[in-house]
Amino acid sequence: MRKVRIGLWVLVGIATFLFGLFAYQLSQPKEEFVKSAMVGQEIPAFDLPAASGSRPALSSADLADGKPKLLNIFASWCVPCAAEAPQLAELERAGVPIVGVAIRDREEDVDRFLATYGNPFTRIGRDDISEVQLSLGSSGVPETFVIDGKGRITYQHIGDIRPEQVSMILEELRKAGA
């Protein structure tokens, strides 16, 4: 009988531990971002048409020209993309080459967006069905990837770049060889 009782207490202990674990996990804030598994890897091959009359088209070959750069995924219909425009402009002034991929966007809308918020891009590709976005492991707009001179993804920034994050992005570029 004594043995059974100990067994019961062990069961109670296990159940308490499990419920405690559930309670703890449920009370933890959920990580909302899905990180790309492509960080550290070669950028997948793509060839996008131009998204705007003001800048040439973008292909993966443009990203392996020896200079580290930023690849910014944006859209004219995306509100935080407008919010990060001053930060992209600041990075451009610091001499960072920035290329853009416009997601599900029309040329006239992209042009209007760039006219309003500035155009920090050297090239802009147009991704109408999020194909390049999916192949990069990006799950929203805006997102910014640091690409080293050999076309390898070294860093992914999810969401808009805040003013206080500009120096961190510059540091990531430096690590990528800028």
Rounded distance, CA 72 to CA 170, Å? 14
Asked if 153 is part of the footprint of another protein (rule: CB under 8 A), the reply reads: no
Q: Which residue has the tokens 């390898």?
A: 152
Candidate residues 36, 60, 72, 119; the one interacting with another protein per rule CB under 8 A: 36
Candidate residues 54, 59, 77, 165; the one interacting with another protein per rule CB under 8 A: 77
3-state secondary structure of 152: strand
Strands, E assignment, 44-129: 47-48, 58-59, 69-74, 98-103, 123-127
Asked if 111 is part of the footprint of another protein (rule: CB under 8 A), the reply reads: no
Binding segment (CB under 8 A) for another protein, from list 49-57, 103-111, 115-123, 159-167: 103-111
> Could you tell me the smallest distance in angstroms from the CB atom of residue 72 to another protein?
17
Decide: 117 and 82 in contact? Cβ < 8 Å. Answer: yes
CA distance between the termini of the chain: 73
Candidate residues 10, 34, 94, 115; the one interacting with another protein per rule CB under 8 A: 34
Beta strands at 153-158 and 58-59: parallel, antiparallel or unpaired? unpaired
Candidate residues 56, 86, 118, 140; the one interacting with another protein per rule CB under 8 A: 140
Asked if 135 is part of the footprint of another protein (rule: CB under 8 A), the reply reads: yes
Asked if 26 is part of the footprint of another protein (rule: CB under 8 A), the reply reads: no
**DSSP state letter for 40:** T
Both tokens assigned to 57: 């088209």
Asked if 106 is part of the footprint of another protein (rule: CB under 8 A), the reply reads: yes
Asked if 67 is part of the footprint of another protein (rule: CB under 8 A), the reply reads: no
Report residue 100: phi and psi, to 5°. -120, 150
Residues binding another protein (CB under 8 A): 32, 34-38, 75, 77-79, 103-106, 109, 128-131, 133-137, 139-140
